[in-house]
Amino acid sequence: MAIAAAVAASAVVAVFTILTSVVLANNDAAQLDRRLDSIIDASFNPDQFQDPRRGVLTTGRAKTTGELVFQRGPQLPALPPGTATVEVNGAEYRVRTIVLDQDGGLLMSIGIRADSILLSANRIPVYIVVGVVTVLIAGGLGWLLAGPAVRPLRKLTEHTSKLGRDTATMPEVRGVREAEDLSEAMAGMLTRLAAAQQATTNSLQAAQDFAANAAHELRTPLTAMRADLDTLRIHDLPEDERDEVVADLSRAQRRVEAIITALGQLASGQLAQQEDRELIDVTEMLYRVARENMRGGSVEVEVRADSNVGSVLGWPAGLRLAVDNLVRNAVTHGEATRIVLAAHRRQPVLTIVVDDNGRGLPAEEHETVLGRFRRGSTAGAGGSGLGLALVVQQAELHGGSIRLSDSPLGGLRATLTVSTSRERVADGDQLD
């Protein structure tokens, strides 16, 4: 940039000098002639030529013989009427010779120094020095001005070279507007790349987890199903024993289906994207869960939601799945006949409490059953062991947590907390 500034300055100086030279060269002779005309017009006032500092030479000669009649300053050579440039004592003079019709006729030559004009040979070195100095000054100023302009770009280059080795983020660069725009564009690009990479990693991890868990958890029920099928195929069982084997097959089939469904839901939770979040009307969601679980008529579900519960930002299907699993666990494994869904909001936390009157769960199992494929001692047959694990996953996705305790209704209480702060939900922070 400094070199470019110097080149630009030198180009401007050169073009200006050339144009000025052409203009002055075309006007020098005319300017000298006009000055001569002015001097001649004032020739009848001799005191105009007495000052030697004016650089005016006057020489008078007889028109016929050329004999010198008078002179002021160095003598000019004999010249015919007209205008000419001559050298006198090593200096160039522009000379105008006119005829004076007096005393038999005189030729008067009046000359002025040619170097009195702006463009002269004597001043060319000065112009060159001025041009060189101008270029140097322009280069120096360009260097000084280019430093602050280039420094942010150098920082940006240094930060970029460290990406992947010392740091994974692009620090903010401040300086010229172009560098700031480039820094912001690169930071945005890195953020998008990181998000895409994380999404790919999550997808791969979800697929691996699904395959590993399915292979591990489906082995037992599938082996049992194969044994039951072999029994039915090989043995001619009595009707009651045959019915018992078929019932075992049906339970194993339901367990396989539940495991596959739950694993798919876990994988979906792992792939949840921030842009898929929506505003969830919590009260309406609780009433829908209550209506769907009361369709069979075997359980009563009551909703108690404070008026300030409002909406939260999250994944509607995921949050509803969490509450629905808590209710179904109370019915299926706790054999509850009455469930109360309560919700209250205290910034920055929304709390959903599920109480039931079922047979509950031993206190020492309140933490262990929250893990994957962990079943409580009071759990019914055919479960996948993933229902509460799904609740834990959704609680973490929504920036909250799940805690089990004894219910005042006599069964189990599940306390689900959800963050109402958009930032905390987006970051996945857990609330205590």
Domain boundary residue among 109, 124, 139?
124
User: Is 310 part of any domain?
Assistant: yes
pLDDT attached to residue 101: 64
Residue 383, both tokens = 């479960």
Sheet of 91-100: strands edge to edge?
68-72, 56-62, 106-113, 91-100, 82-88
Distance CA 388, CA 402 (A): 9
Does residue 53 form part of some domain?
A: yes
Question: How many domains would you assign to the chain?
Answer: 2
19 inside domain: yes
242 part of a folded domain: no
- Residue 267 inside a domain? The answer is no
Q: How many whole angstroms separate alpha carbon 410 and alpha carbon 414? A: 13
Statement: the pTM of the whole predicted model exceeds 0.75: no
| Measured CA distances, 400 to 161, 307, 337, 385 (Å) | 39, 21, 28, 21
**Per the domain annotation, does 190 fall within a domain?**
no
Q: Is residue 187 part of a domain?
A: no
CATH number at residue 319: 3.30.565.10
Query: Domain span at residue 399?
Result: 272-427
pLDDT at 52: 46
Domain end position, chosen among 107, 124, 141: 124
377 inside domain: yes
Q: Which among 102, 124, 146 is the end of a domain?
A: 124
pLDDT tens digits for the chain (432 residues)? 667 766 777 777 777 777 776 666 666 666 667 667 766 655 545 554 444 445 577 777 777 777 788 787 888 888 888 888 888 888 888 888 888 765 557 888 888 877 665 555 556 677 678 777 877 787 777 777 776 767 777 777 777 777 666 565 666 666 667 767 777 777 777 777 777 777 777 667 766 666 665 665 566 667 778 888 888 888 888 888 888 888 878 877 776 776 676 666 666 665 666 777 888 899 999 998 898 888 767 889 999 999 888 888 888 888 888 888 898 888 888 889 999 999 999 888 999 999 999 888 888 888 888 877 677 766 655 555 677 888 888 888 888 899 999 999 999 999 999 988 765 444 444 444
pLDDT at 379: 65
The per-residue pLDDT for 25 is: 62
pLDDT, position 396: 84
pLDDT for the residue numbered 93: 84
Q: What pLDDT is attached to residue 333? A: 83
What is the domain-level CATH number for residue 51?
A: 3.30.450
